[in-house]
Chains A and B, each alone.
Chain A
Amino acid sequence: MAQPSPKPKPSPETAVFEPWNDPEAKPLIEFRNVTKRFGEFTAIDDLSLRIYEREFFALLGPSGCGKTTMMRMLAGFEAPTEGHILLGGQAIDTVPPNKRAVNMMFQSYALFPHLTVFDNIAFGLRRESRDDEKIEARVEEMLRLTRLSKFASRKPHQISGGQRQRVALARSLAKAPKLLLLDEPLGALDKKLREETQFELMDIQEKTGTTFVIVTHDQEEAMTVASRVAVMDEGRIVQVATPEVIYEAPNSVYVADFIGDVNLIRGTAKARGEGTAPAANEAPQEEAPGTTAPPASAPAPATGRHDPQPNAMGRWLHDRLLSPVIGPRRDQPKALPAPEAAAELPPPAPAPESATDIPEGGIEIHWSEGAAPIVASSGDPALDGQQVVLSLRPEKVSIAKEKPQAHNALPGRVIDIAYLGNISTYHVELPDGTMIKAQMANTRRIARRDITWEDEVWVSFTATAGVVLTE
């Protein structure tokens, strides 16, 4: 259930692997204005796409979006109605599947039940060569790669699901195809095995240097394994980008909504002029005693209202006399705080910057009558006056009982709390009925109890946390 956190993909080369940004790079696969119709139904609609050598490319979308049709066209089981598919610069539209340097790992694995693991892997090799020694050497290599050597003489029904999955992978890799297609390869595995296998797949992809195209409806899986992800909807590609970009900078509400959990706040954009007073400061503020910004040296910007804090004399004593002996003062005491203080620990996701350093520019979103507008510094001022949607990831929203110092702080009421073990998701209803999800990592073992159902709370996020989209 955890959000797939974008992570850098380990690359075997020292240089960054980004052939899609290199105008010189030749694509291994190219879809040129491909359309595929089944009778009246258009499965693929005028689609163009380039996939480069050594890429791990994911086609992601809900069922019926055309991703499987694309894969079957690559394998040769379907021919495009219009347009061309090029493999290494050659049109392969009419090449039958048995003449393509493309192999596929089937969703059902499609292992031959009457053949042993060894013969399954050797099957493709035997079609093109009679050299038994060479075939055997290659099969042994594949068995080693997929850690199946012990099972070579077993039949598919005598091994476990995870092993069958590896046999299917070994069989499709045995002929060293230019392109390997994986059709929902991990769908039949349980969650733990699936995660292990994802890393195994990435490892094997790097070892063999084969280009992988994976079809999946599981966004976590796509984000984990792929170098680039194409999000599809109704026969079109909505966005092609690296997992990080797809997650952090979706280009449409569809992508934002499909990938992970998201808050969508609709409103009217208004350009922020230079020197416009930050919106958050316009809202009336009750300065609670002790909320005055801590000294600049404070390591954690969390507002430590409930924590026992040294008073002015204590700080003076420490800074002047004791710091050379016991090191710099920590504003957060090391001792366990009183239980009710747990709410303030740990600092929620990106620390809210002090309200005064909202970046200039961007837009304000007037999302609800009478409520303070939301500041989104990433918004294009040219959107002035248009309807926009702010897409905000729940983990970038923090929640507090008292109004925090943040670019954007909205009051609301806790409707629901979902405890997921590693994280908790709070559903907060704003006065106008909008639901906002805020996510907190449960870094402490004892669940926080100070925010509970029906509590009046503040949700806050920075001016840079959201992405402004138009519908």
Chain B
Amino acid sequence: MRRFSWFNATSLTLGFAFLYLPMIILVIYSFNRSQLVTVWAGFSTRWYGELLTNQEFLDAAWVTLKVAVFSSTLATVLGTMAAYAIVRMGRFPGRTLFSGMIYAPLVMPEVITGLSLLLLFIGIGLDRGVLTIVLAHTTFSMCYVSVVVSSRLANFDRALEEAALDLGCSPFDAFRLVTLPIIAPAVISGWLLAFTLSLDDLVIASFTTGPSATTLPIKIFSSIRLGVSPEINALSTVLIGIVTVGVITASLISKRAAVQAERETRAGERTTG
């Protein structure tokens, strides 16, 4: 049994305060009636209402949503394919290097990623806008998807695919009818991860965006320069809500899938029952 101790309680409180105090303050002030950000004047949802009438913010939100949906979908397809190839190809010369390279963008500074993508888009003469942001977001979020999916594929029983082939499936059908349904939880949580990453990305988006496409993080960042408004607080609170829901859903899905997988494995080992 774990026992309560003042030391543990204090560490926990400090740690969580450190992590969440700024966000809690932001959320609280988003319900402030006052025009002044730092002066509390009573509870109100006024700024949320104003948010809905602010066309600039609504446009930015629409762009952000489009970018997030397209880039995370594209990243999921590419990331799943990459994970499948790496796990399934077996041993070939340079496999470690290859799989390492897929994960490298995870630790690459965003500024570098953004700058190199910008140079690429200029180089090939692609007009900057929604398309370039989608491509840029796909680039960095597909490695997250591939990490999630490949960890599921690593303990996927290869015999299942062979059984599907043996029963008359073409290799594509075997993937579609057997592999994909089984790894689906990992794919979905990969998609949600990519979606939330795209939603709150500022650095790469600002490198690769053009005048026609302003995402919410960019919009927030640029309006801060004119002073923090309670409207921004409200908008940020909405974003926090969306990201929280996304991340929690993703982790719940993968946790449930892990439990399911474990139950199936255990059932496979048990001989009677």
Contact = CB atoms under 8 A, between A and B. Distances in A.
B272 interface: yes
B271 A189 contact: yes
B166 A112 contact: no
Contacts of B160: 110, 112
B50 interface: no
Interface string B164-198: 11111110010001100110000000000000000
Interface stretch (B71-79, B129-137, B143-151, B261-269): B261-269
B163 interface: yes
A157 interface: yes
Interface residues of A, number: 34
Interface in A153-186: 156-157, 160-162, 164, 171-172, 175
Contact of B182 (A114, A123, A190, A193): A114
13 contacts: A75-B166, A97-B165, A102-B166, A108-B268, A112-B178, A123-B164, A123-B177, A124-B168, A127-B167, A157-B267, A171-B163, A172-B166, A193-B271
A190 B272 contact: yes
B272 A103 contact: no
Interface string A28-68: 00000000000000000000000000000000000000000
Interface string A117-161: 000000110011000000000000000000000000000110011
Given A97-B165, A97-B166, A172-B166, 9 more contacts: A98-B165, A98-B169, A104-B166, A108-B157, A108-B159, A108-B268, A161-B273, A172-B167, A175-B167
Contacts of A75: 162, 166
B2 interface: no
Interface in A71-86: 75-77
Contacts of A109: 268
Nearest to B263: A157
Contact of A193 (B165, B178, B272): B272
Nearest to A114: B181
B263 to A, nearest CB: 6
B182 A113 contact: yes
A77 to B, nearest CB: 6
A175 B167 CA distance: 8
Contact of B170 (A98, A104, A164): A98
A112 B182 CA distance: 8
Contacts of A157: 263-264, 267
A128 B268 CA distance: 29
B267 to A, nearest CB: 4
B3 interface: no
By secondary structure, the B interface counts as helix
A106 interface: yes
A103 B181 contact: no
The 3 closest A-B pairs by CB, nearest first: A124-B167, A127-B168, A110-B163
Given A160-B272, A193-B271, A106 B159 contact: yes
**Chain B interface size, under 10 / 10 to 19 / 20 to 34 / 35 or more:** 20 to 34
A222 B167 CA distance: 26
Nearest to B158: A110
Q: Which of A157, A164, A175 has the most CB of B within 10 A?
A: A157
Contacts of A77: 162, 165
Nearest to A161: B271
Contacts of B173: 127
Contacts of B163: 104, 106, 110, 112, 171
B140 to A, nearest CB: 31
Interface string B222-264: 0000000000000000000000000000000000000010011
Contacts of B264: 113, 156-157
A188 B167 contact: no
A96 interface: yes
Contacts of B168: 98, 124, 127-128, 175
Contacts of B177: 123
Contacts of B271: 161-162, 188-190, 193
B173 to A, nearest CB: 7
Nearest to A192: B272
B267 A156 contact: yes
A113 to B, nearest CB: 5
A346 to B, nearest CB: 36
A116 B225 CA distance: 59
Contact of A160 (B260, B269, B273): B273
Nearest to B273: A160
| Residue from B162, B165, B167 having most chain A Cβ neighbours under 10 A | B167
Contacts of B167: 98, 103, 123-124, 127, 171-172, 175
A188 B272 contact: no
Contacts of B157: 108, 110
Contacts of B267: 156-157, 164
A161 B270 contact: yes
Contacts of B263: 157
